[in-house]
Amino acid sequence: MNTAIPKLKADVVVVGAGVIGSAVARELSKYQVDVILIDRNEDVGGEASLANNASVICGYDFVPGSLDSQMAVAASPMFDKLAKDLDIQFERIGALQVALTEEEMDTLVEIRHIALKNGVYDVELISGDEARRMEPSLSEYVLGAMVIPRQAIIDVFGLVVAYTENAADNGVRLMLGAKALEICKENGVVRSVVTTRGEIETRFVVNAAGLHADALAQTAGICDFENYPRKGEFFVLDKKLPYKPKHIIASVPTALSRGKLLTPSVEGNLLLGPTADNIKDKSDTATSRQGLAEVLADLQKKIPAVSSRDSVTQFTGLRPKRIPDELSIRAVKGVSGYIEANGSSAGVTVSPAAAVYAVELLKRERLTLVRKPDFNPIRRSIRKFSGATSEEREILIKEDSRYANIICRCETVSEAEIVEAIRRGASSVDAIKRRLRAGMGRCQGGFCLPRVIEIMARELHVPAEQIRKNEPGSEYLTGPNKQILGERGNHELLSV
């Protein structure tokens, strides 16, 4: 036995700090159980959870009776309180699903029937003219639309950070950079989880490892499904556009995908996408000329003013497409104490309900759950300078003069916010970027990156060369600039 690696103990180990795992950890933190949430990455946020449409859907078009439908319909109303308690940006802006052909109009009628079967009664079919009155930038070719008032947008990364911060405030231990290598069982009962940071003795494990949940299940010899990546490519458009949809503009779905969307983000950008391509490589997050062209061509039919000239950046998300089923939250026969929570096409949406469901399953697996009398559901986010009024800005600067030092000019992020994010655990430039948007504006970090590195080095008490983009090996700097210039200068002089 390797004595250098500590052996830990927990009542429950949750694998995966994406939106599902972190929601489960927070739900468990309401009870008197000792929980460890682990992730192989150096930050929380997940993988699929980092790159998606960032919408909370009301479940209107899911297969009636499916777990996905039940979870989405149940979860949608939970978000109003959740967003307040966890202090995250969430807006019920509604959606218009627009039809361009008579065939698509017929499909909308069918989708409305499905919505009613799913218990979503507030959808409504309207004419093309009515749709254009709601959204003047819509094409003259839009024949009609379905209004889906409860569709919402959310800060997904903020949600995951909030779930984990609140879980930690209520006692959950977080282990990052810890890959689960094996779920060990004994006589059909979970015994431990072996990780790259040591073995954790536990009776209960929740597999919320996203795309990699199948590989983890295999280590316990209980894998009867396969996850493959469905790739979705996006454009992010600038905040300043000559047109600005107020609603999510959705397409009528095809057999393969839910269709492409124009989604306003809570930060004020417009997301265009996604494509939906089944691929094999679980690490292929490259964007492609072809995929992005497909997104543009499709969405320009709905809003002709859409242009790639307004693009600030592009990204790709990989959704775990589970075979055979979609969402699967279940105990598995033959292994007591093991819960799988995986495979939703709308994991962000279902997360609060899926967490309650997973914890109920743990209870059925005989986890003793006694509610904590002092559970605190409230968590506050970092106070942002950008959204504050002039009066609020004055107060912030009076409280902390570093609010007056703007580091990211595109997104108006101050030094005080960066220092607070570091205090809360952000340890890489991406971690700062995702929490505060420093580097996400027009210049994509061209101006603020060196200043963010400088602040991080100062606050973390490490040399600037150790500050990295995200995972180990992604350091930006190799040494002090002058020293390198001096060496090169000498070398060049000698060779002249």
For the CB of residue 40, give the shortest distance to ligand FAD in the complex, in Å: 4
**Which residue, 230 or 384, is less far from ligand FAD as judged by CB?**
230
Those residues with Cβ within 8 angstroms of residue 114's Cβ, 6 or more apart along the chain or in another chain: 60, 61, 62, 64
For the CB of residue 302, give the shortest distance to ligand FAD in the complex, in Å: 17
**Which residue, 22 or 414, is less far from ligand FAD as judged by CB?**
22
**Nearest Cα to Cα of residue 120 among 153, 80, 91, 149:** 149
Largest CA distance in the chain: 80
For the CB of residue 477, give the shortest distance to ligand FAD in the complex, in Å: 26
For the CB of residue 49, give the shortest distance to ligand FAD in the complex, in Å: 3
**Which residue, 69 or 349, is less far from ligand FAD as judged by CB?**
349
**Which residue, 199 or 417, is less far from ligand FAD as judged by CB?**
199
**Which residue, 322 or 383, is less far from ligand FAD as judged by CB?**
322
**Which residue, 29 or 52, is less far from ligand FAD as judged by CB?**
52
Tokens 């700090």: give the residue: 17
For the CB of residue 489, give the shortest distance to ligand FAD in the complex, in Å: 44
151: its two tokens: 């569709």
Q: Tell the burial category of 108 from Cβ atoms under 10 Å away from its Cβ (0-12, 13-18, 19+).
A: buried
Tokens 């040494």: give the residue: 479
Count of Cβ atoms closer than 10 Å to residue 464 Cβ? 16
**Which residue, 158 or 347, is less far from ligand FAD as judged by CB?**
347
For the CB of residue 434, give the shortest distance to ligand FAD in the complex, in Å: 13
Distance of CA 15 to the CA centre of its chain: 16
Residues at the site binding ligand FAD, with contacts judged by CB under 6 A: 15-21, 38-41, 46-49, 52-55, 57, 179-180, 208-212, 216, 232, 274, 317-319, 342, 344-349
**Nearest Cα to Cα of residue 347 among 137, 84, 156, 85:** 156
**Which residue, 265 or 414, is less far from ligand FAD as judged by CB?**
265
Q: With beta carbons less than 8 A apart as the criterion, state whether 48 and 242 touch.
A: no
What letter would DSSP give residue 431? H
Distance CA 30, CA 17 (A): 18
For 435, the 3-state DSSP assignment is helix
For the CB of residue 97, give the shortest distance to ligand FAD in the complex, in Å: 14
Beta bridge partners of 185: 190
Q: Tell the burial category of 402 from Cβ atoms under 10 Å away from its Cβ (0-12, 13-18, 19+).
A: middle
CA distances from 2 to 6, 112, 193, 414 (A): 9, 60, 15, 45
CA 258, 154, 437, 165 torsion: positive or negative? Answer: negative
For the CB of residue 63, give the shortest distance to ligand FAD in the complex, in Å: 16
For the CB of residue 61, give the shortest distance to ligand FAD in the complex, in Å: 13
**Which residue, 57 or 408, is less far from ligand FAD as judged by CB?**
57
Beta bridge partners of 199: 7, 194
